[in-house]
């Protein structure tokens, strides 16, 4: 298993700051770790480069439509950068919750409806607490379940990297690019390409495309199903 130190040293090797048999100085290692933690926090702001999507459940209060979220908030959890998906659980059943942009929530003219199962949710970014808005306001017995994108905890130098293998390669090569300007080093084209390719692998792994659903009526052509016609645009 790779440690944070291993990845930092590998990144410094890629740009020639240290040789394959030379360890980084304490200052170089500390600077590399700081840069890596900042880079990973930035990656975690996007679903497509976040290593995990933790799930949080919270029992809603009947009639209350807004909740702070973050350390010490009403929902005492790591402050998310975004909500990936969410649903409401009531009476043993799950009801989909549409996560919308704040502007769409603000456009609702009358937000006083209450006592129902919420249908939409928006996040109002803030720091250290953000605010979640639900509409309509929940009735009794509703639990909010969220898959959220949140920044990771900072790593210490000898922590084991809590990332899958495809991430480790992407982190090492992209960290090399992050560190290069600090040492006045130009990044070789091969390293830049590998960094880009490795990050694209991470994005593809995290990308989830829902299966297409076609209306059966669209499949009818002269009384028969003709998927090829649909694909060619001749139907």
pLDDT digits (tens, 9 = 90+) for 30-73: 999 999 999 998 888 777 777 667 789 999 999 999 999 999 99
The answer to whether residue 222 scores a pLDDT higher than 80 is: no
Evaluate whether 88 touches 97 at the Cβ level (below 8 Å).
yes
Whether 176 maps to a domain, the answer reads yes
The mean of the pLDDT values for the chain is 87
The CATH number of the domain holding residue 162 is 1.10.3230.20
Number of domains making up the chain: 2
Domain range for residue 118? 55-149
pLDDT digits (tens, 9 = 90+) for 77-123: 888 888 888 999 999 999 999 999 999 999 999 998 888 899 999 99
Evaluate whether 89 touches 151 at the Cβ level (below 8 Å).
no
pLDDT digits (tens, 9 = 90+) for 141-158: 999 999 887 778 899 999
CB count within 10 Å of CB 199 equals 20
CA distance 130 to 111: 19
Whether 193 maps to a domain, the answer reads yes
Q: Are both 108 and 81 inside the same structural domain?
A: yes
Measure the CA dihedral 79/84/88/93, to 10°: -140
Kindly list the strands in the beta sheet with 120-124, ordered across the sheet, starting from the edge strand earlier in the chain. Answer: 55-59, 143-149, 82-90, 93-99, 120-124, 130-135, 66-69
Give the confidence band of 27 by pLDDT, cuts at 50, 70, 90: very high
CA distance 137 to 128: 24
Q: What is the structure's pLDDT at 210? A: 47
Q: Are both 107 and 165 inside the same structural domain?
A: no
């Amino acid at each position: 298993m790779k440690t944070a130190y291993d990845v930092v040293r590998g990144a410094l090797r890629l740009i020639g700051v240290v040789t394959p048999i030379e360890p980084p100085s304490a200052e170089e290692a500390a600077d590399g770790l700081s840069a890596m933690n900042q880079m990973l926090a930035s990656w975690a702001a996007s679903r497509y480069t976040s290593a995990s999507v933790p799930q949080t459940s919270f029992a809603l209060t009947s009639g209350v439509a807004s909740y702070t979220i973050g350390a010490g908030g009403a929902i005492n959890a790591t402050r998310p950068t975004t909500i990936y998906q969410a649903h409401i659980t009531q009476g043993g059943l799950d009801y989909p919750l549409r996560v919308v942009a704040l502007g769409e929530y603000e456009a609702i003219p009358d937000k006083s409806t209450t006592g129902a199962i919420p249908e939409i949710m928006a996040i109002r970014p803030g720091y250290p607490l953000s605010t979640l808005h639900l509409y309509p306001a929940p009735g009794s017995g509703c639990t909010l379940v969220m898959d959220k994108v949140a920044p990771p905890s900072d790593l210490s130098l000898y922590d084991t990297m809590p990332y899958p293998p495809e991430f480790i390669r992407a982190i090492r090569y992209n960290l090399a690019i992050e560190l290069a300007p600090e040492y006045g080093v130009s990044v070789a084209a091969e390293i830049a390409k590998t960094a880009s390719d490795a990050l694209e692998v991470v994005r593809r792994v995290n990308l989830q495309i829902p299966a297409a659903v076609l209306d059966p009526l669209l499949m009818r052509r002269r009384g028969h199903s003709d998927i090829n016609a649909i694909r060619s645009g001749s139907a």
